Structure 1
Amino acid sequence: MSHTFHIPVLGLGFTIDTPLKVARYGISSVLSIVDDMLIERMRKFYAKSHDEEYVPIDIKEEDHRAKRVCDYLNMVNRKVNEQFEQLKRQAFVPGSDITRYFNLLPDGSALKIKYDQMMRTTSQEEKARLDSELREEMQKGSIDVNIMAKVDKMHYAINGEVTGDENSDALAGLRGFAMSDLRSSVVLSAGMNPRLYSYLEHFPDFYPDADGVLKKGIILKVSDFRSAFIQAKFLAKKGIWISEFRIESGLNCGGHAFATEGYLIGPILEEFKNKRQEMIAELFGIYQQALLTKNIAIASPPALRVTVQGGIGTSEEDAFLVNHYNLDGTGWGSPFLLVPEATNVDETTLKNLSQSSADDFYVSAASPLGVPFNNYRLSSAEVQRQERIDKGRPGSPCRKKYLVSNTEFTEQPICTASREYQNLKIKQLKAMPLSEEEYQSEVEKVTQKLCLCEGLVTSVYIKNNMLERKENTAVAICPGPNLAYFSKVMSLDEIVKHIYGKINLLQGVSRSSLFINELNLYVEYLKKDIQAHISRLDAKKIKQLEKFREQLLLGVDYYKSLASQFSNQTEQYIKRFSEELLAIEAQIHSIQVREIAEV
């Protein structure tokens, strides 16, 4: 790969067309295929922008969701290929895209070294040879897609019967990717879905060809070694290989926050480092046997990359993670929300984000999925949510229904952020024998849910002047807390140079290590979890909380030994890291779960 970093999926719409903006420069990115309505509108937008024919795929058309996904991905792939071929034909002159391609590369890459050699040589024959080799060896960025495994709504016929497992949202999305021309990977996130994982067996592109090459790969977004291994073995038994484990910090990330049981990113990476080869060997044995039952023979395991993302802020942190844990790359997500060349953030939200403080980013209960969600206090969607409450009409109209999951009041699932659910739930609460304080507390839990289906795509519509008449203009956005340290709108060149240490965009900014930042988030999470269950701390919950606390202390011990290995950091950095670590350790020791329970 040309670059050592990738841009992860950022919400539904923020990276929906990012490959069209960065792939020609060798930068890989991930787009969401959850929202086929957005996908269809983006396909129409680009057809119109390039004076191309657009044939709509109507929602009433059979298998419309898979077809929409497939056609959009084919369009993106075709245009990226066109961009890349055009770039490769350009001259190596200042201001050209091909010159920009090489200037963006890390200094240590083989391509960049050869490029610098070509630019220095005075021999025309040597220059011509290197010119030809460079153009041949260039690679475009991967166009990867993301499926949230648990966002898998079933569909119903007019008579109320389920139309079939293969028509669920996740399976139809996967089918669209599998049918597409892409040679890339699908990122499976948000937990294991056996039905979805088993469906992978239906598509030849996920199996090795005669040369042992996979046309399409599987990337698992994971938060710990054990769950990663379990999922990988499940798939290996079906003859499906994992091309990459994408390790993400449980809390120091954007979007939904899937907290671990107190396992911290450092110890998690250490376990992957120590057990990686043993894991690959065991997986390959299972995989090889499974392929034989499908009459496919393979002599050696395909590549299995390991990368990390979540909260990385400096080139020194990036380099330490890659070198110390023998990683194949890193993911930089939230900072790219401040890069208009790469992502879709409307002007108002962009300005607010660039001027925000750490307090503006927080972990909320806003997601209808019931999973902690990284929210932004100043978003127009949050303002709108409160306005609706103030007017006595809490909740949102539910048009897209991607996150429907609740059957408390209805036979078919509805969304907990919907006006329908919140009205029914509040009526139920009014009929219950609750004190005013208890009632208000319960109502707040209900009404803090936010419509993400619309809110997370509005920004791309605003930025590209695609809003339709009477369409909601409220923008929801879900940056990770690390974005608080980046306080300016950045160019693509600036953020890439920052990642590789060519410039420092955080010069003068007081920022703790990514390990410390994550640890603080976990301590706060523990405190909130205790407080949330303070009135019902039974033996089982106490045991779980104490285990969580113990894991944090084990993590602290690990970081104490790790500090001496920060060879690429300053003495001041190491001193601050050690002091903050001791302060957090004292704070964890002060949290006595059983004593709190007894009070």
Structure 2
Amino acid sequence: MSEHLFHIPVMGTGHSIDSPIRVGPYGIDSVISIVDDLLVEKIRKYYCDKFDYDYTNISRNAEDGRARRITAYLDTVQEIVQEKFSDIRNQPFFEKNDKSKYFEMLPDSSTLKEKYNKLTNTEKGSLRDRLAVELSRLMKPGSIDVNIMAKVDKLNYTKDDIPMSDEFSDASAALRGYARSKVSSSLILSAGFNPRLYNYITEFKDFYRDKAGAIKKRIILKVSDFRSALIQGKYLAKKGLEVFEYRIESGLNCGGHAFPSDGHLLPSLLREFREKKDQLVKAVQPLVEDYYEKHAGGFSEDWEITEPRLTVQGGIGVSGEAERLLKDFGMDATGWGSPFLLVPEATTVDKPTRRLLKNAGEKQLYLSGVSPLGVPFNNVRNTGSEQWHQERIEKGKPGSPCPKGFLKSNTEFTEQPICTASTQYQLLKLDQIARSEMAEEEKEQKREKVLNKACLCDHLGNGALINLGILAEHRAPQSICPGPNLAYYDGEYTLRQMVDHIYGCIDSIATEGRPHMFAKEITLYVDYVEELAEQPDDPVNIKKLKKIQTNLEEGMEYCLEIAQDTPYQDENLASIPETVSRQRERLTTILDRLEGRVAVEA
């Protein structure tokens, strides 16, 4: 387990694609997306060339190619991380080098940091030599974790259009690729519950305890509420699979795809996890032990049983907010994503896009409808992808040729699924709209929604290819998915600067006046309510809005209680009461207006 109190979450398909290579040698955990196996193969070739490793291409049409490409890449990453880490570990102490950087970036609470400080204060001699040997031995690289969006699980076909078996679906093949790799790390399952995929995990022994009770590949569930965590944890436990960590994420104050709840604010969710944490062991552990008794020769009394870790991510921006999450809510660690998009040492972002992010304010960062999945997607205005799509619209060729097809899911016009961001779909849909009898204003609204879809599965990886010099900028439209929190960072930072900022070792690098993460989330949810309220009136939508309002009101009350506490370092608790007052009034106005409109129409 890492000595650090934070991890770097997955960011798009490409922006954290090689983050373990960049930060893993310093003991920092980070997460790779393995959605795009074609991107993974290009990055593997780049690094094999760079480190003079043997490379044999795994072609697009190779048998079980998706799984094999993922395995090959992860094994390459493992080899590189270990090589770079060994180089650091073998460096001498008492010099300004990467070894001193490794230890100095650790949090003060780390036992390793304490030993390092003791070493630096010890005079030359046999004791110092023994301390140095011990410290070097205790060093560990960061974990090479991977992310699979569980429900992005397209079924595939042979060249002859014959459906392939379930094990060749996108998510199952990605899982197999990870399971067969050499890495010992964590699999993060996100974006919903997929029983077919969860059942497939049982095929791989690395997810189970060995004779010594160790698990080589751990399971982390990204969850949005306690009920979901418990249901999924029990489902896996019945199969003998243990959840190492529940990773709680804000529904809206995050990067990438957003999964808004029914108005349940993050503080309320965290309070429930804190109060019911013991259930995640009491309700789950007996199921695990029962499985081992029936299927694996018993659960040894010598095996260590640990509570699952609880971590949180989404909009954390200053050290004081992280400290509150760790101390007041009992979280074991925090996830810091979007700020690392401005750290070239940690992420692969092309220079034009990084410049765009540095200059982006609140109005440039927005929740968009560009995702073909039909899920809200955090975006920034004026990306290369946006410009590319607009140019195609103006030429009468909207949409994308769909070079990868990972997000194919629509069967409105075709027997086999196609992507709503594809040229094929958009031309068919635009023609349908044109021939319909709806009013011109309504037609225009529907056309806008169709043309808004973007080719994410290709464009989200292009920034990495440009950054590494694999593709030229003009040949690779770039998309990126920062969270709203990025509006409060306006520079480019070193890894050391960002880590010191996270631990409060330097003056905050977030811009002055940044609202508290809890205050920002309240505003984002009222924005979401306003958007829902503008949709066509129907009883289901109105009922949902009332439910969201109730939950938001309860959450805001709890935020006001938190605001009365003594703030931690750089924590802007004063922004919470101001935000609650303003957003309560706004929420009431939105719903009163909606009810008035419904009454008139009735």
Structure 2 length normalisation: TM-score?
0.96
Within 2, Cα distance between the matches of 1:471 and 1:511? 35
Note the C-alpha offset of 1:49.
1.1
| Match 2:374 to one of 370, 376, 383 | 370
Note the C-alpha offset of 1:594.
3.4
Note the C-alpha offset of 1:394.
1.2
Alpha carbons 2:318, 2:510 under 8 Å: kept: no
Alpha carbons 2:489, 2:511 under 8 Å: kept: no
Q: Report what 1:438 is aligned to.
A: 442
Distance 1:235-1:508 versus aligned 2 partners, 3 A rule: closer
Note the C-alpha offset of 1:292.
1.8
Note the C-alpha offset of 1:584.
2.0
Note the C-alpha offset of 1:310.
0.5
Q: Report what 2:572 is aligned to.
A: 573
Within 2, Cα distance between the matches of 1:566 and 1:205? 46
* RMSD, aligned α-carbons: 1.6
Q: What's the CA shift string for 1:318-357, capped at 9, x where partnerless?
A: 1111111111100000010001111111111111211121
Letter in 1 for 2:568: N
| Match 1:341 to one of 345, 359, 362 | 345
Moved more, 220-229 or 419-428: 220-229
Q: Report what 2:506 is aligned to.
A: 503
Note the C-alpha offset of 1:567.
4.4
SS state of the match for residue 523, structure 2? Answer: helix
| Match 1:301 to one of 298, 305, 318 | 305
Distance 1:249-1:355 versus aligned 2 partners, 3 A rule: same
Within 1, Cα distance between the matches of 2:484 and 2:106? 27
Q: Report what 2:558 is aligned to.
A: 558
**2:357 is aligned with 1:358:** no
SS state of the match for residue 32, structure 2? Answer: strand
Letter in 1 for 2:436: M
| Match 1:310 to one of 309, 314, 317 | 314
Alpha carbons 1:306, 1:329 under 8 Å: kept: yes
Within 2, Cα distance between the matches of 1:380 and 1:507? 26
Within 2, Cα distance between the matches of 1:303 and 1:52? 40
Letter in 2 for 1:368: P
Within 2, Cα distance between the matches of 1:553 and 1:229? 25
Distance 1:567-1:441 versus aligned 2 partners, 3 A rule: closer
Moved more, 559-568 or 37-46: 559-568
Q: Report what 1:529 is aligned to.
A: 532
Q: Report what 2:598 is aligned to.
A: 597
Note the C-alpha offset of 1:582.
2.3
Distance 1:596-1:308 versus aligned 2 partners, 3 A rule: farther
Letter in 1 for 2:516: S
SS state of the match for residue 416, structure 1? Answer: coil
How does 1:16-27 map onto structure 2 within 5 Å?
16-27=17-28
Q: What's the CA shift string for 1:15-65, capped at 9, x where partnerless?
A: 111101100101000001111111111111111112222111122221111
Within 1, Cα distance between the matches of 2:451 and 2:574? 44
Letter in 2 for 1:575: A
Q: Report what 2:457 is aligned to.
A: 453
SS state of the match for residue 487, structure 1? Answer: coil
Alpha carbons 2:320, 2:567 under 8 Å: kept: no
Q: What's the CA shift string for 1:377-413, capped at 9, x where partnerless?
A: 0211111122222222211111100000000000000
Note the C-alpha offset of 1:129.
2.0
Q: Report what 1:585 is aligned to.
A: 584
Q: What's the CA shift string for 1:516-572, capped at 9, x where partnerless?
A: 101110011011011123xx322x2222110111000010111122222344257x9
SS state of the match for residue 574, structure 2? Answer: helix
Note the C-alpha offset of 1:296.
4.2
| Match 2:418 to one of 414, 425, 439 | 414
SS state of the match for residue 362, structure 1? Answer: strand
Q: Report what 2:549 is aligned to.
A: 549
Note the C-alpha offset of 1:123.
4.7
**2:329 is aligned with 1:330:** no
Note the C-alpha offset of 1:578.
2.0
**2:109 is aligned with 1:108:** yes
Within 1, Cα distance between the matches of 2:174 and 2:375? 22
Note the C-alpha offset of 1:301.
3.0
Distance 1:143-1:508 versus aligned 2 partners, 3 A rule: closer
Give percent identity, aligned residues only. 45
| Match 1:479 to one of 476, 479, 482 | 482
The number of aligned residues is 594
**2:430 is aligned with 1:426:** yes
Alpha carbons 1:414, 1:421 under 8 Å: kept: yes
Letter in 2 for 1:259: P
How does 1:219-258 map onto structure 2 within 5 Å?
219-258=220-259
Note the C-alpha offset of 1:86.
1.7
Q: Which runs of 5+ in 2 are unaligned?
A: none
**2:218 is aligned with 1:212:** no
How does 1:383-394 map onto structure 2 within 5 Å?
383-394=387-398
Note the C-alpha offset of 1:256.
0.2
Note the C-alpha offset of 1:486.
0.5
Alpha carbons 1:553, 1:588 under 8 Å: kept: no
Within 2, Cα distance between the matches of 1:393 and 1:60? 28
Letter in 2 for 1:588: L
Alpha carbons 1:2, 1:138 under 8 Å: kept: no
Q: What's the CA shift string for 1:472-509, capped at 9, x where partnerless?
A: 42100010010010100111011011000011343651
Moved more, 572-581 or 209-218: 572-581
Letter in 2 for 1:341: E
Moved more, 389-398 or 495-504: 389-398
**2:45 is aligned with 1:44:** yes
Alpha carbons 2:358, 2:490 under 8 Å: kept: yes
Q: Report what 2:468 is aligned to.
A: 464
SS state of the match for residue 188, structure 1? Answer: strand
Distance 1:65-1:588 versus aligned 2 partners, 3 A rule: same
Q: Which runs of 5+ in 1 are unaligned?
A: none
Alpha carbons 2:218, 2:243 under 8 Å: kept: yes
Q: What's the CA shift string for 1:260-283, capped at 9, x where partnerless?
A: 111110000000000001221111
Structure 1 length normalisation: TM-score?
0.96
